[in-house]
Amino acid sequence: MAVDLSMPVLVVDDYNTMIRIIRNLLKQIGFEDIDDAADGSAALGKMREKRYGLVISDWNMEPMTGYELLKEVRADPGLSKTPFIMVTAESKTENVIAAKKAGVNNYIVKPFNAQTLQSKIQAVFGD
């Protein structure tokens, strides 16, 4: 696996239970350095302080959504290359297309398990 399990990962979700679930799945895969943020603006602040190897963000959050966060990250020269996986409960085609156009690296529809998460992460970093 070409994925660096020591890289810091940022999980962004406004639902604490979902953060805990994703954190546990990441730990099952082997990640140790996991931070979290409750919304896009908090995530942006953390990303400007620390270099993350991967961002896993929920789509639906207030006040800044995961989609808005993705657009901000891609527009920021210092953050634009950060691998970004969007998580959502909705598999609407237009959402997937919008996220792809905005530069998302991969997309996960809830619910998902460690195996799905791992394969999506591997797809982002290549084998």
The helix (H) or strand (E) run that includes residue 100 is helix 93-102
C-alpha span between 119 and 27 (Å, rounded): 15
Q: How far is CA 78 from the centre of its chain?
A: 17
Give the type of residue at 86.
M
Task: Break the chain into its structural domains and give their ranges.
Answer: 27-125
Which residues sit opposite 37 in a β-bridge?
A: 12
C-alpha span between 52 and 26 (Å, rounded): 14
Let me know if domain 27-125 sits in CATH 3.40.50.2300: yes
For the whole model, what pTM was predicted? 0.95
C-alpha span between 30 and 37 (Å, rounded): 20
Q: Specify the pLDDT at position 127.
A: 60
Residue 33 structure tokens: 């350095």
Structure confidence by residue, pLDDT tens digits, 16-67: 999 999 999 999 999 999 999 999 999 999 999 999 999 999 999 999 999 9
